[in-house]
Amino acid sequence: MKKAIISVLLAASMLVSMTGCSYIKYIKKVEEAKKEQAELEEQIKAEQQAIIDAINDASQSSNNDSQNSIDDSQDADDESQNSDDASQNSDDESQSSDEESQNASDSSQSAATEFAVDLNTVDAYGNEVDNSIVSGAKVVMINFWEPWCGPCVGEIPDLELIYEKYKDDGLVIIGAYTSSDMLDDIKYIIESDGLTYPVIEATRDMYQYMSDYVPTTVFFDSEGNVLEDGQYIGSRSYNDWASIVEYALESVE
């Protein structure tokens, strides 16, 4: 009887032990499954975060490229504006230069127009001249001479010296002739004496200031008016002409 009871107890004990072991194994499996599930969830979260980060990076890169494009476009616009400004400044400077040139031309034309004696003619070499040859003059000294006149030719070197001395003071000397059929002689005199003042063929308007003799020299102011006692007939020495020129210059101050 006792043996039977012990056998039953042993069997029950073994059953309990086996049941306990099975339960423990079950718990472990459940825990392992939970752990695996947690690891899988962490992996999924990490992958999702990586995808989100990649999208954000791509978006940021796109925004940066877009901003760089905008900046480049702005720089291009600025350069274009600078180019336009430079072009405008160049146009303004060109306009200013044209205006200055026009003003200078107008001033020269005005001075030429104001001189009352018509000087539109040619020089001994056929070059056209006009009233601009007296622009800026305070006193204009017109010396009427001819190449066949000994006293005329004799005083010409002194007149060149007078011109060189007083031209910076406002003196302009003009030599005028009527013997257009003796141009070779006139050119020879001009070149041999080294004349630097203009020598021109007299215009009809200039005839009224001539006399019946050569040389005749007439002094004018800047407007073409004959100065008082401004006509001199006959040749003179360097010193005589220097005194007369100085007096004429002083009289127009």
* Strands 139-144 and 171-177, sheet pairing: parallel
**Are residue 131 and residue 247 in the same domain, yes or no?**
yes
Contacts of 141 (CB under 8 A, 6+ apart): 171, 172, 173, 174, 217, 218, 219, 220, 245, 248
CA 240-241-243 angle, to 5 degrees, is 70
What are the angstrom distances between the C-alpha of 37 and each of 24, 29, 43, 45, 176? 20, 12, 10, 12, 124
- Return the pLDDT at 180: 94
pTM of the model: 0.59
Return the higher-pLDDT residue of 128 and 73: 128
- Return the pLDDT at 16: 45
Identify the domain containing residue 100 by its residue range.
1-114
Tokens of 166: 């007083």
Please identify, among 114, 129, 160, the residue that sits at the C-terminal boundary of a domain: 114
Q: What are phi and psi of 135, to 5 degrees?
A: -60, 135
- Return the pLDDT at 201: 98
**What dihedral do alpha carbons 94, 95, 101, 106 form, nearest 10°?**
170
**Are residue 224 and residue 163 in the same domain, yes or no?**
yes
Please identify, among 87, 114, 141, the residue that sits at the C-terminal boundary of a domain: 114
Q: What are phi and psi of 116, to 5 degrees?
A: -75, -20
What element of type H or E holds 73?
helix 2-114
**Are residue 95 and residue 129 in the same domain, yes or no?**
no
What are the angstrom distances between the C-alpha of 220 and each of 95, 98, 131, 253? 38, 33, 13, 13
**Are residue 238 and residue 193 in the same domain, yes or no?**
yes
Q: What is the layout of strands, in order, in the sheet containing 199-201?
A: 199-201, 171-177, 139-144, 216-221, 226-233
Contacts of 130 (CB under 8 A, 6+ apart): 112, 119, 120
Per the structure, the count of domains in the chain is: 2
Question: Please, which pLDDT band fits residue 89 given cuts at 50, 70 and 90?
Answer: low
Distance CA 253, CA 250 (A): 5
Instruction: Please determine, for residue 158, whether its predicted confidence score (pLDDT) is greater than 90.
Output: yes
pLDDT digit string, tens, across residues 168-220 = 999 999 999 999 999 999 999 999 999 999 999 999 999 999 999 999 999 99
Q: What percent of the chain has pLDDT over 90?
A: 55
**Are residue 183 and residue 87 in the same domain, yes or no?**
no
Instruction: Kindly state the average pLDDT of the residues 80-102.
Output: 59
Tokens of 234: 């006959």
**Are residue 72 and residue 149 in the same domain, yes or no?**
no
Which residue is associated with the tokens 């006293």?
Answer: 151
